[in-house]
Amino acid sequence: MFSIISTILGFFKGNMFFYISLALALGAIGFLTLSLEAQKARYEKVKNDLNISLEANYNLALSLETLKLEHKKQIEAISEANEEKEQVKERIEYVNRYIVKKYESGENNLTKLFNAMANRLWEQNWAANR
């Protein structure tokens, strides 16, 4: 048994520096291989996270565009409502001036004044819609 061990040790005795260098080189290669695999795993995780972030960003951009369009439509609706409100306000002022003018000229029948004004507004609306 002792002779087998001494034979093995004798085999390494002559080329000891070479075998130590070889063992260190193999250890370094193993370490670098493990480091490379760990780096690949981190790269894949970061790549996956980036893809998820890009997809979320794309979805948010679509949502933002949808909200912008909806906001634009709401602004247009509000603008149109304000224009219609101004038209109604102008007509009310017109009716008020007409009734006051007729009342001051001596017309006391408010129903007659109202009907005349309603006919005028109806004609204006009909002419405007043509």
Q: Is residue 96 over pLDDT 70?
A: yes
Residue 23 is predicted with a pLDDT of 82
Angle between helices 2-14 and 16-104 (to 10 degrees): 70
Domain residue spans of the chain: 2-129
* Least confident residue range of 10-14, 17-21, 62-66, 72-76: 10-14
The H or E element containing residue 109 is none
Q: Which pair of tokens denotes residue 33?
A: 């291989």
Residue 13 is predicted with a pLDDT of 63
Instruction: Check: CB of residue 95 under 8 Å from CB of residue 117.
Output: yes
* 129 vs 30, higher pLDDT: 30
Residue 28 is predicted with a pLDDT of 93
Find, among 99, 101, 91, the residue nearest to 116 by Cα.
Answer: 99
Q: Is residue 73 over pLDDT 80?
A: yes
Average pLDDT over residues 54-59: 97
